[in-house]
Copies of this chain bind each other. A is one copy, B any other.
Amino acid sequence: KKSFRVVVLPGDGIGPEVVGEAVRVLEVISAASQDVEIKLEPHDFGGCAIDSTGEPLPPSTLKACQEADAILMGSIGGPKWGVNSKVRPEQGLLALRKALGLYANIRPANFASDSLLANSPLKPSVAEGVNIIVVRELIGGVYFGARQELGAGTDADTAWDTMIYSVPEVQRITRVAGQIALQANPPLPIHSIDKANVLASSRLWRKVVTETLQAEYPQLALDHHFVDSASMFIVASPKKLNGVILTENLFGDILSDESSVIPGSLGLLPSASLAGAPSVADATSPDFKPTAGLYEPIHGSAPDIAGRGIANPVGTILSAAMLLRYSLGLEKYAQAIEGAVRKALDTKTTGGFELRTADLGGSVSTKELGDKIVEIL
């Protein structure tokens, strides 16, 4: 039996509640599997770590993450550690991404279940059939370039940040997008987003994306959109961007959040942040090596509903499925979880259990939904 080590970072707010259900799902898989064993190891991270140690990413947590095969996170942050605090939970997240080299953020924005279409703010005719995967560069660009705070420099009246990209940084994220596009059958088109009519870093981006795909993935369709135009398409005709949206850190932050409201509840959507191209080999093959990755639902810590047991655990459970797929090479278990989630959410008329947590207008609890998914599995 192969053994994998997964660090669990429950975090703040509803984090521990939703992570609790995803952990149960992983335990069920681990217990049932003939091939693999998944060892789960919880650590403090985010606001709760600030409270207990003074820093959002304590050295012991960082060390555990560095040694782990993959990381499952809940959510971090809350009003207690707001924008004006000196030490903030997000700093821990940015530091963790950088320390582990998690350069590839992958966020699918598609319907966990078609029965949820009615929850989209978009008209059914616009939202139906949307199938977008955002691949965002996560440790470059204006997030990590040199910057100067107001009052800190010689020109005391200004503040600045640097949006910077190197050729290898763009090459490696392009390869991840290429690989994700190829995993689908038929392969997905790639929509690269930039602001090349204004920015030098975007001109580099467009050039490197084009050359890398032409040389290494010539079979993939590629087009380019300006970020302003893409932000319109995502609302007005999102299906035109079906496929892989490939973009830099800041644009990806904005566009992935924008696309994530199409499915109707943020509570449904998972994300992965990888330190390399996703595994294609199966966990049981002799040459298999796990890809380090951090997996988290896209929603925040929702302090307003924390502790009430009503948060939607689906985003975190689907994040656990992505963890099995991309880090641990366990595609079949990933699909099993996704199938179970779909069955729990599908309407009764289509053979599902039609369970609805509060975010979807229902009254099913976090635990009831988790129970049902575990039961189906």
Q: Which residues of A contact B (CB under 8 A)?
A: 83, 88, 90, 94, 120-123, 126, 142-143, 145, 147-150, 155, 157-168, 195-201, 203-204, 206-207, 224, 227-229, 231-232, 234-237, 250-251, 253-258, 260-262, 266
B200:A228 contact, CB within 8 angstroms: no
Chain B hits for A261, CB < 8 A: 232, 235-236
B159 touches A142 (CB 8 A): no
Q: Are B227 and A254 in contact (CB under 8 A)?
A: yes
Q: Is the CB of B250 within 8 A of A231?
A: no
Once the chains are docked, how many angstroms separate the CA of A78 from the CA of B204?
Answer: 22
Cross-chain contact A148 with B200 (CB below 8 angstroms):
yes
Contacts of A158 in B (CB 8 A): 164-167, 204
Q: Which residues of B contact A142 (CB under 8 A)?
A: 142, 163, 198-199
A132 nearest CB across to chain B (Å): 13
**For A122, what are the chain B residues with a Cβ–Cβ distance below 8 Å?**
121-123, 235
**Residues in B neighbouring A224, C-beta threshold 8 A:** 83
* Bound-state Cα–Cα, A167 to B96, Å: 32
A163–B163 CB distance below 8 A: yes
**Across the interface, do B262 and A159 meet the contact criterion of CB distance under 8 Å?**
no
Residue of B nearest to A88 (CB): B197
Beta-carbon contact of B232 and A147 below 8 Å: no
A-B contact pairs, 29 of them (CB 8 A): A83-B196, A90-B197, A121-B122, A121-B123, A122-B235, A142-B198, A143-B198, A145-B160, A147-B200, A155-B166, A157-B167, A158-B164, A158-B165, A158-B204, A159-B165, A159-B200, A160-B201, A161-B199, A163-B163, A195-B253, A227-B253, A228-B253, A228-B254, A228-B256, A228-B257, A231-B258, A232-B261, A235-B235, A251-B254
B contact residues around A228 at 8 Å (CB)? 253-254, 256-257
Q: Are B162 and A204 in contact (CB under 8 A)?
A: no
Contacts of A260 in B (CB 8 A): 232
Shortest distance between the CB of A166 and any CB in chain B (Å): 4
The minimal Cβ–Cβ distance linking A130 to chain B, given in whole angstroms, is 11
Q: How far is the CA of A142 from the CA of B157 in the complex (A)?
A: 17
The closest CB in chain B to the CB of A82 belongs to B197
Q: Which partner residue on chain B sits nearest A262 by CB separation?
A: B235
CA distance in complex: A254, B232 (Å)? 8
Give A247 Cβ to nearest chain B Cβ, in Å: 12
For A148, list chain B residues within 8 Å (CB).
200
Docked pose: A157 CA to B169 CA in angstroms: 10
Q: Give the residue of B145, B163, B196, B258 whose beta carbon is less than 8 angstroms from that of A235.
A: B258
